[in-house]
Amino acid sequence: MPGMPWTQEQVIAAAPDAASVTAGRKLASPGPWSGTGANDALLWGSCQGSGKKPYQVSIDLTGPAFRCSCPSRKFPCKHAIALLLLWSAGAIGDGEVSEFASSWADERATRAQKPTRAATPVDPEAQAARRAERVATMDAGAAEFTRWLSDLVRAGVADALRRPQAWWETAASRLVDAQLPGLAERVRDTGADVVVGLDAADLLERIGVWWMLVRAWDRRADLTTAESADLHAALGWPTPTAEVRAGVVESRVWTVVGAHRDEKGRLAQQRTWLRDDDGRYRMLLETAGPGQSLGVPQLAGARLRADLAVYPGAEPCRGLFVGDPEPVGSGVSLGPGTTLDAALADAAAALAATPWRDRHPVTLADVRFGDGHVVDPRGSSLALVDDTPSTMLAAVSGGRADLAFGEIDGGRLRVLTIDVDGRVVPL
């Protein structure tokens, strides 16, 4: 028998954009489909298009991963979304796996088992020389940015708020040249926000964070290993994946509690939050540059047995999967949850340890939504972020939720997932 179908909300959350959902809905009827079927791991079917040969659609539900013979470069494409919607509506039953879906699944399994090529031996002297060269470039860039910040403050925040976006872009470009891309992205985003009306208090807070970053870089010899790792990540000096995989690996069952995409500036990011049964959070981060696309996020509420390599740094840490995760169920609770006061205290402690960290994960219990705020049973409230999908939140929650997972960002809450009467719904 096929596994538990996704909800429509889960299908929509997996779509790359709203246009793909609209196009998928138009195809989500039995008419153009043939040879459909599902089991615990796969969903498949053929969709008749304008040509003679129907498009062959295969979906690995454990990934999730998608394949369609159509020419679309979107993942999932409209055909895959339509097939998922049909499955969600109960219109697809079990059956013998089609040859094209079975072959694709076998190819994926073979690739997963294929041993990786041995890494090229590292020349320690050359590596040390490259590191020293980068550090020198970053030192010079940090010194120049310190002078730029001093000039900005001397001229006044009001003057900075009148500056055109090109002024901010110039500063960001210099930071990129100085191999400080993380700091450059913060400056670039601020320039875009100034254009649309960033207020003085928010700008002053960001300037303070930038100042802490460059001062911390100057004093990097005094930092702990975790503090140094967080600083490198904030400045845009990533830890090599090979080093992460060779470090701490956590083997346990994880619950996918939420995911969010940011498409701001030149980079797109996808954050997926995991939580283990002891309440520890881990974040999967994917970044795509111009012309690149982000992968499909894990389904909110899914339970995955996986080995997770953990990046160095303060809690909550970033991680990456070592191998493919194994699904062990779905539709479970996001909990346990906490109160707003406890969540804010936890976020404050994390911010004290890493003052340039932007977001903090939290799961709240028994909350109400209204007037742009979330309210807990004690009456404590917190404003929601401006881009909250309020209409959708009201429609799926009815103004309340047993549990709500989200990110505290800039003193506001970004709701990513809610649990209403045992139903996990991503926003």
Q: What number does CATH give the domain 241-329?
A: 2.40.50
Q: Can you spell out the DSSP letters for 253-283?
A: EEEEEEEEEEEETTEEEEEEEEEETTS-EEE
φ, ψ for residue 192, nearest 5 deg: -65, -40
Return the number of other C-beta atoms located less than 10 Å from residue 325's C-beta.
Answer: 21
The 3-class SS string of 297-358 reads CCCCCCEEEEEEEECCCCCCEEEEECCCCEEEECCCCCCCCECHHHHHHHHHHHHHHCCCCC
Residue-wise pLDDT tens for the chain (427 aa)? 445 788 888 888 888 888 888 999 999 988 889 889 888 888 999 999 888 889 999 998 877 888 999 888 787 899 999 999 999 888 888 778 889 998 888 887 776 665 555 555 667 888 788 889 999 999 999 999 999 999 999 999 999 999 999 999 999 999 999 999 999 989 999 999 999 999 999 999 999 999 999 999 999 999 998 899 999 999 999 888 888 988 899 999 999 999 998 876 666 788 999 999 889 999 999 887 665 666 666 788 888 899 999 999 999 999 999 888 888 865 567 878 999 999 999 999 999 889 898 899 999 999 999 999 999 999 999 999 998 998 889 988 999 999 999 999 988 999 999 999 888 888 8
The alpha-carbon radius of gyration of the chain (Å, integer) is 24
**64-71 long-range Cβ contacts below 8 angstroms, 24+ apart:** 64/14, 64/296, 64/298, 64/299, 65/108, 65/296, 66/296, 67/104
Per-residue pLDDT, 329: 66
Per-residue pLDDT, 164: 94
The 3-class SS string of 177-245 reads HCCCHHHHHHHHHHHHHHHCCCCHHHHHHHHHHHHHHHHHHHCHHHCCHHHHHHHHHHHCCCCCHHHHH
Name the strands in the sheet holding 42-47, side by side, starting at the edge strand that comes first in the sequence. Answer: 33-38, 42-47, 55-60, 65-68
List of residues 6+ apart from 160 with CB closer than 8 A: 152, 194, 203
What whole-number distance in Å separates Cα of residue 5 and Cα of residue 90?
Answer: 8
pTM of the model: 0.75
Per-residue pLDDT, 330: 58
Distances (CA, A) of 123 to 8, 118, 120, 128, 239: 52, 15, 9, 9, 18
Per-residue pLDDT, 51: 80
Given CA atoms 154, 155, 159, 161 in this order, what sign does their dihedral have? negative
What whole-number distance in Å separates Cα of residue 15 and Cα of residue 10?
Answer: 9
**Integer distance in angstroms from the first to the last C-alpha of the chain?**
29
Per-residue pLDDT, 1: 40
Per-residue pLDDT, 380: 95
CA 228 to chain CA centroid, nearest Å: 23
CA 153 to chain CA centroid, nearest Å: 34
Per-residue pLDDT, 290: 61
φ, ψ for residue 301, nearest 5 deg: 95, -15
Sequence spans of domains, the chain: 8-113, 125-235, 241-329, 340-426
CA 7 to chain CA centroid, nearest Å: 21
Per-residue pLDDT, 130: 86
φ, ψ for residue 368, nearest 5 deg: -120, 150
| Beta pairing partners, 374 | 369, 382
φ, ψ for residue 359, nearest 5 deg: -135, 150
